[in-house]
Amino acid sequence: MIELNDIHVVFNAGSALETRALKGVNLKVPKGEFITVIGSNGAGKSTSLNSIAGIAPVSRGRVIVDGHDITKWPVHKRSKIISRVFQDPKMGTCEDLSILENYAIACGRTKPKGFGFAVNKDLKEQAAENLSILGLGLENRLNDKVGLLSGGQRQAVSLLMATTGETKVLLLDEHTAALDPKTAAFVMQLTKDLVAKLNLTVVMVTHSMSQALHTGDRTIMFHQGKIIFDIAGKERADMEVKDLLELFKKDQGEELSDDSLLLG
Amino acid sequence: MSYYELMGTFELSFIFAILALGTFITFKILDFPDLTVEGSFPFGASVAAVLITSEIPIISNAWLATLIAAFAGFGAGYATAILNVKFKILHILAGILIATALYSINIRVMDGPNVPLLGVDTVFTVFEDIEYMKSFEAKTLFLGALVLAIKFSLDAFLATGVGLSMRASGSNAEMAAANGVDVGKMRLIGVGVANALAATAGALFAQTIGASDAQSGVGMIIIGLAAVIIGMSLLPSRLMWHATFAVIVGTVVYRLAIAAALNSDATGLNASDLQMVTAFLVIFVLVVQHYSSGFLARKKGRKL
C-alpha cells in the first residue's frame, strides 16, 4: 500500500543550515497494516510521515501509495487517498467554521467539490450519526463553531473527519501528544476502533516507546535519518521498553538518552 | 442633510458596498490582504469609460462595458494572486506591484489621465425619464437592488462546496489542503472575484460622477476596510449571510459618518480631509475592538 524507495530529504539545501533529514529510507507497508514509528527529535520520523503526506521536499527517491507514484503530487491531490491527523488539535479543524461545515469539508476530501450546496439534510444526518459514536454529545452541537470545543474534542472530531469517505491510508503525527492522559487514552482507543472497523493502512508517529510497542502490528525506529529497527510479530510482542533500549545500545554503541523520548 | 444629499450618500454607499464585499472576500474569507483594489477600481472605471465613449456598436453599450470592466478587474486580481501563489511573492507586496502597474496602464487605456462621460449613454440613462420617480431616487433604488443581488449571489456561493473550501483555505490552509482543497486555486478565484467587484464599483462610480480618473483609486482599500470593520463591529455574527449584510450596513454607516463630518461647519473639515477622516475612523474602531477584546473580539473571531 505504501512504498518508500530510497527517500532523501534535505532542508535548506546548499545553505549553511543544510540539514539532511532523511538519508535513503526504504519502507514497505502492506495494506491493512498498522505501523508505529519512534525515534528521538530530529531522527526523521515526522519527516518520513511528511514525505508521504507531501509536505517534505523529497530530493531523491519515490513515494508510491496504492499503486500510484505520488512523489510529485501536491498535498491536495494526495488527500484523495491519504488523510492525516495533526499533533496540534487546532490544525485538524477550522475553528471559524461550524462542526457541520468542517465535516462537510472532510466529506469533500475524496469527492470533487462542486457548486451544489455543501451542507444538506443527508449530510447533516450522516454527521450526527457519525459524531454520536464519539459519545461527546457533539451531534447536538452541529452548528457550534469548532473553536468552542476543547482540544480533546477537536482531536476526536479530526480523527472522525480523517476517516470519512474512501480513505485508504491514515497518517497520525503524534496525535495524542498534546492531550492530557485521560483524553489521550480516549483518542487512542477511538483510533484503534476506527482503524479496525475501516481496515485502514496506518502510519503512526509517537514519542512514547510503550505506546509504539503496544499499538498496531509493527514498529520501526528512526535514528539520524535512517530506519535502524523494524520489528513485528512475536519478536515485537515479547519486547518491552527496556529491551528496545538494550537493542539500541547494542546496535548503535551509544546510550539512548533523549529527554524528548518517553521511556514509559 | 437634505433628502437629496441623503439619497446621494446612499447612492455612493451602494457603489462602495460592491467594493467592500470584495474586500470582505479577500480580508475576511481568504485572509489575503489584497491592495490591488487601489488599481483595479480605476481600471474598471477606465475600461468602462473608454468602451462607452468608443462609439463601437454593441461594445459601447454601457451595460456590456461595465461587464467587460468587471472581467478586466478579475484579470488584475488574478495577476496579483498568480504572483503570490506561483511565485511566492508576499500577498501585500503582490497587490502593491499590480496596483502600481495599473496606475500607468489606466493612463494608457484612457490615453490620458481622465475620460469625461458627458453626453453619452451610461447605465443610469434609463433612469432619467421615469414618470413616477425622480431620477436620483431610481438610481439609488437600482444600485441598492444590485448590491443585494451581489450579496445574495455571494451568500449562495459561500454555501457551496467550492465556497466552503474557500473559507477553509483562509481559516486553516494546511487543514484545507489535507482535505483536498487546492488552496492556490481558491486564492486565484477569490482575489479575482474581489477585484472584479472593485472594478464594477469603479465602472459605476465613473458613470455616476460623469468621468473616469486615474487618481480615483486612492484610498479605496481603506474605504473597503472601513466598511468591513465598521459593519462587523456593529453586527457581529458568524453566519455568512449576516456578515455580508453587515458589510453593506457598514458602508452606509461609514458614508453617513463621513458626510456628516465633512458637511458640518462645526468640524471645520473640507472634502480633501476625507482620507484622513476615514483613516482615523478605522483606527478608532480598531482601538475600540482592541480594548473590548475578550468580550467582543472572541465572538467576532479573527481581527483584521
Handedness of CA A138, A144, A146, A151 (dihedral sign): negative
Q: Which of A241, A86, A243, A249 lies closest to A174 in space, CA to CA?
A: A86
Q: Which residue of B has its CA nearest to A102?
A: B168
pLDDT higher than 60, residue B299: no
Ordered by where they begin, the domains of chain B are: 3-300 (1.10.3470)
Asked if A55 and B153 touch (Cβ cutoff 8 Å), the reply is no
Q: Which of A53, A9, A1, A4 lies closest to A224 in space, CA to CA?
A: A9
Q: Which residue has the higher pLDDT, B249 or A240?
A: B249
pLDDT at A236: 87
Task: List, in sequence order, every beta strand (DSSP E) within B78-139.
Answer: 114-116
pLDDT higher than 80, residue A263: no
Chain B residues closer than 8 Å to A79 by CB: 177-180
CA distance, residue B167 to nearest chain A CA (Å): 8
pLDDT tens-digit profile of A87-113? 898 999 999 899 999 999 998 887 777
Q: Which of A53, A77, A79 sits opposite B179 (nearest CB)?
A: A79
Interface A-B, measured as beta-carbon pairs within 8 A, has a size of 97
pLDDT higher than 70, residue A255: no
Domain boundaries, given as residue ranges, for chain A = 2-81+168-252
Q: Round to whole Å and give the CA distance between B224 and B242.
A: 17
Angle between the N-to-C axes of helices B37-52 and B183-209, in degrees from 0 to 180, rounded to the nearest 10: 50
Q: Does B175 touch chain A (CB under 8 A)?
A: yes
Q: Do B172 and A101 touch (CB under 8 A)?
A: no
Q: Which of A80, A97, A113 sits opposite B171 (nearest CB)?
A: A97
Q: Which of A80, A96, A98 sits opposite B301 (nearest CB)?
A: A96
Q: What are phi and psi of B157, to 5 degrees?
A: -60, -45
pLDDT tens-digit profile of B43-85? 999 999 999 999 888 888 999 999 999 999 999 999 999 999 9
- CB-facing half-sphere around the CA of B44: CA atoms within 13 A: 35
Chain B residues closer than 8 Å to A96 by CB: 167, 171, 238, 301-302
Determine if residue A32 is left, alpha or beta; phi over 0 gives left, psi from -120 to 50 gives alpha, anything else beta.
Answer: left
Q: Where residue B285 falls among pLDDT bands split at 50, 70, 90?
A: confident
pLDDT at A258: 53
ipTM of the complex as predicted: 0.88
Q: Which residue of B has its CA nearest to A111?
A: B180
pLDDT at A200: 93
Give the β-pairing of A218-223 and B211-213.
unpaired
Asked if B225 and B304 touch (Cβ cutoff 8 Å), the reply is yes
Q: Which of B157, B171, B179 sits opposite A109 (nearest CB)?
A: B179
Q: Select, from the ranges A177-191, A227-241, B178-192, the one with the highest average predicted confidence (pLDDT).
A: B178-192
Q: Do A109 and B160 touch (CB under 8 A)?
A: no
pLDDT higher than 90, residue A18: no
Q: Does B181 touch chain A (CB under 8 A)?
A: yes
pLDDT tens-digit profile of B220-233? 999 999 999 999 98
pLDDT higher than 60, residue B139: yes
Q: Do A118 and B171 touch (CB under 8 A)?
A: no
Q: Round to whole Å and give the CA distance between B84 and B78.
A: 10
Taking only residues 198 to 227 of chain B, the set having a beta carbon closer than 8 angstroms to any beta carbon of chain A reads: none
This prediction has a pTM of 0.89
DSSP string, A104-148: HHHHTSSS---SSBS--HHHHHHHHHHHHTTTSSGGG-TTSBGGG
pLDDT higher than 90, residue B281: no
pLDDT (average), residues B91-119: 96
pLDDT higher than 70, residue B126: yes
pLDDT higher than 90, residue B191: yes
Q: Round to whole Å and give the CA distance between A30 and A7.
A: 18
Q: Do B178 and A53 touch (CB under 8 A)?
A: yes
pLDDT higher than 90, residue A4: yes
Q: Do A91 and B175 touch (CB under 8 A)?
A: yes
pLDDT higher than 70, residue A262: no
pLDDT tens-digit profile of A26-49? 999 999 999 999 988 888 888 999
Give percent of chain B above pLDDT 90: 73
pLDDT at B23: 96
SS3 content of chain B, % helix, strand, coil (to 5): 75, 0, 25
pLDDT (average), residues B240-247: 95
Q: Which CATH architecture best describes the domain A2-81+168-252?
A: 3-Layer(aba) Sandwich (3.40)
CA distance, residue A197 to nearest chain B CA (Å): 21
Give the β-pairing of A2-11 and A82-85.
unpaired
pLDDT (average), residues A254-258: 62
Taking only residues 113 to 172 of chain B, the set having a beta carbon closer than 8 angstroms to any beta carbon of chain A reads: 157, 159-165, 167-168, 171-172
SS3 B103: helix
Q: Round to whole Å and give the CA distance between B76 and B44.
A: 10
